[in-house]
Structure 1
Amino acid sequence: MKAMNGTALAWGGVVSAGVLWGGAALVAQRLIEGGLSPWSLALARFALGLPLLWWWHLRADSDSSARWRDLSPRQRALMLGTGLAMALNVSCWFQGIAHLGAALPTVISICCAPVLVALVSVLRGYEPLSRRMVVALTLALVGVALVVAPAGNWQLAPGHAAGLAWSFASAALYAAVVLCNARMPASVSTVTASTWGMTAAAVCMAVIAGVQGITWPADGAAWLGVGYTGVISTSVAYLAFAWGARRLSPTAAVVGTLVEPLVAALLAWLLWAEPMLPRQWLGALLLGLAMALLARRARTSIAT
């Protein structure tokens, strides 16, 4: 019973993170349309939430194992690598939003990541290639094709191809974040790993944004949006995700965040009349079926 409750809480953590990230996609779109560059928004997203994470880290992790000098080289590399992957993942995601709007890049980034995680697991020998996985991967690939196909024909509108490239890059980097979290040693607390990873992400984005040129929010409402993306949808959401991801398999963890594209698409439809085409909804359904198969497979692995 205790294990089942722990698993339920872990699913709650990753699903809650997905909901917060889905709302952040819409906020990011409006901020970018208001003149804030994707690189500057990514920098703000990681930097603004750092004080909260460091406060949690210093309060919760008084044990000596939380200190940087006491961490092993592998632990340090995992935390810093996770942070760099987070920074580049969010940057690519924001670039996709700048080209395509909020819904499509979010669907691609989140829904393709479970497929990539499953493929890496097979190639690395973490789990065997089963019939269920083959069916799930086939459904996912067909679903992605339906979702990303431009309206009318394959003559891409200006910016469409670039938007797709940024979105798929975000998916690959998101898969890397999931796999790094899954391999994080249990001796390193979630708060410690999140704090150091977010610090690495902020430093990475400071360098990139400094080279690209930093832009600033235009008004008070934009500052509120930036604050939301930095504190709520990054620090709080990522901490919840990292905590849950450690207690689930990599595939299960990434499946739990599939509510993100649903939240983004529904909010875009309800608030800003940004509908998806029928075939894109069909593609999303196929992706959902693929993820359901992977989730069932993940639950079976946990049970055994």
Structure 2
Amino acid sequence: MIRGALLIALAALLWATTGIVAKFLFTGTELQAVTLGFLRLVVALPFFFTLMRREQQALARSSAPLPKLTRKALVPLVALGFFQAVYQGSYLLAVDMTGAGIATLIALCLAPVLVAIMAAPLLGEKPGLVTVLALAAAIAGTAMLVVSDMDSAGRLRLGGILVAVLAAFVYAGFTLTSRHTSTGTPVFTTAFICFSTAALILLPAVAAIGGFKGLHTLGIGQWLMVAYIGIVPTCLGYVSFFSGMKTTPATLSSIIVTLEPLFVALLAWMILGEELGVIGIAGALILTAAVIVASRSSAGNRADTA
């Protein structure tokens, strides 16, 4: 189990580098957030296609029946792709409009708490008092981060903060959809269809906003950064996460994943010079604690209804 936990922690660290590298790209080029989200998926797709093929071959060798991709099975996968597309665009846009640290803390820490609350009307998972208190703490932590960002930036970057909140709601929708649907589709087949759908959705969006025009400002170094985001945090990060999930309990996994926004905040401070300040650090800790409590409470609710 220790190896699995370390693999999940590694995945969180790799994912955390996405916002840092993206901030460098947005600062030094005219690359738009939606365009980067699309390019990230395009780079990752061949890798996930290869993993999908290997997964299907392994199932064939084991004589296990290959799940059929019926319309009933494809609909939720396409829905996941839609959520993935909107999340890619909104999260990276939030990073561009604010900072890597605050955007990630809001988008990723607020999402699990929203899942715990929204699971009540959508999935019949009744939230307890602890979950409600976790939501209140998450809102308080987010407010403290906003105050801290105002102090460091000298102004209220409301647009970027609202986009980060949107990313949190979208990520919550992605989580709830994946939890609600159990199609039996293998992991990497699901990932490939989801990412393919997201790329197809983002393509016309990038074209509509003229997002490809900024590509001429990318030098070799910037293209390597794009490739890094598509390969390391996306491909290697997800493989590390899924490998770790095989031997790690779901509740522990959800808690370890909360390291990602903390990793981002630390890297943003070390590399980008983004400072949260005392209020921001307190808000980040409150948000993280709220996520852990909400994750444990949500897992307990699912166990009780199973």
Which bracket does the TM-score occupy, shorter chain normalised? 0.7 to 0.9
Q: Which amino acid aligns with 1:289?
A: A
Give, in whole Å, the separation in 2 of the partners of 1:236 and 1:199: 18
Q: Write out aligned runs for 1:169-208 (5 A).
A: 169-185=166-182, 187-208=184-205
Q: 1:152 to 1:104 in 2, by over 3 A?
A: closer
Q: 1:245 to 1:161 in 2, by over 3 A?
A: farther
Stretch deviating more after TM superposition (139-148 or 288-297): 288-297
Contact 1:147–1:279 (8 Å) recurs in 2: yes
Contact 1:108–1:144 (8 Å) recurs in 2: yes
Q: 1:283 to 1:119 in 2, by over 3 A?
A: same
Q: Which amino acid aligns with 2:24?
A: R
Contact 2:20–2:267 (8 Å) recurs in 1: yes
Q: 1:123 to 1:183 in 2, by over 3 A?
A: closer
Query: Which residue does 2:297 correspond to in 1?
Result: 297
Give, in whole Å, the separation in 2 of the partners of 1:108 and 1:72: 37
Give the C-alpha shift of residue 15 in structure 1.
Answer: 3.9
Equivalent in 54, 57, 65 of residue 59 of structure 1 = 54
Q: 1:110 to 1:123 in 2, by over 3 A?
A: same
Give the C-alpha shift of residue 60 in structure 1.
Answer: 1.7
Give, in whole Å, the separation in 1 of the partners of 2:186 and 2:193: 11
| Alignment deviations for residues 127-182 of structure 1 (CA, whole Å, 9 cap, x no partner) | 222121122122111111111234359x954xx11101211111111112222332
Contact 1:182–1:245 (8 Å) recurs in 2: no
Give the C-alpha shift of residue 73 in structure 1.
Answer: 2.1
Query: Which residue does 1:237 correspond to in 2?
Result: 237
- Secondary structure, in 3 states, of the residue corresponding to 2:185? coil
Give, in whole Å, the separation in 1 of the partners of 2:120 and 2:197: 29
- 1:151 and 2:150 are equivalent in the alignment: yes
| Alignment deviations for residues 204-230 of structure 1 (CA, whole Å, 9 cap, x no partner) | 111111111212262221111101111
Give, in whole Å, the separation in 1 of the partners of 2:178 and 2:243: 9
Contact 1:57–1:195 (8 Å) recurs in 2: yes
| Alignment deviations for residues 224-262 of structure 1 (CA, whole Å, 9 cap, x no partner) | 11011112212332455567779866x876544221211
Query: Which residue does 1:257 correspond to in 2?
Result: 257
- 1:37 and 2:32 are equivalent in the alignment: yes
Unaligned runs of 5+ in 2: none
Stretch deviating more after TM superposition (189-198 or 254-263): 254-263
Give the C-alpha shift of residue 77 in structure 1.
Answer: 1.2
Over the matched positions of the two proteins, sequence identity in percent amounts to 24
More helix, by proportion: 2
TM-score with structure 2 setting the length: 0.85
Give, in whole Å, the separation in 1 of the partners of 2:6 and 2:106: 22
Equivalent in 94, 99, 102 of residue 101 of structure 1 = 99
Q: Write out aligned runs for 1:5-154 (5 A).
A: 5=1, 14-35=8-29, 36-62=31-57, 70-149=68-147, 150-152=149-151
Stretch deviating more after TM superposition (70-79 or 236-245): 236-245
Contact 2:91–2:167 (8 Å) recurs in 1: yes
| Alignment deviations for residues 270-297 of structure 1 (CA, whole Å, 9 cap, x no partner) | 1222111211111111112212222333
- Secondary structure, in 3 states, of the residue corresponding to 1:274? coil
TM-score with structure 1 setting the length: 0.85
Give, in whole Å, the separation in 2 of the partners of 1:272 and 1:205: 28
Unaligned runs of 5+ in 1: none
Contact 1:122–1:128 (8 Å) recurs in 2: yes
Cα-Cα RMSD: 2.8
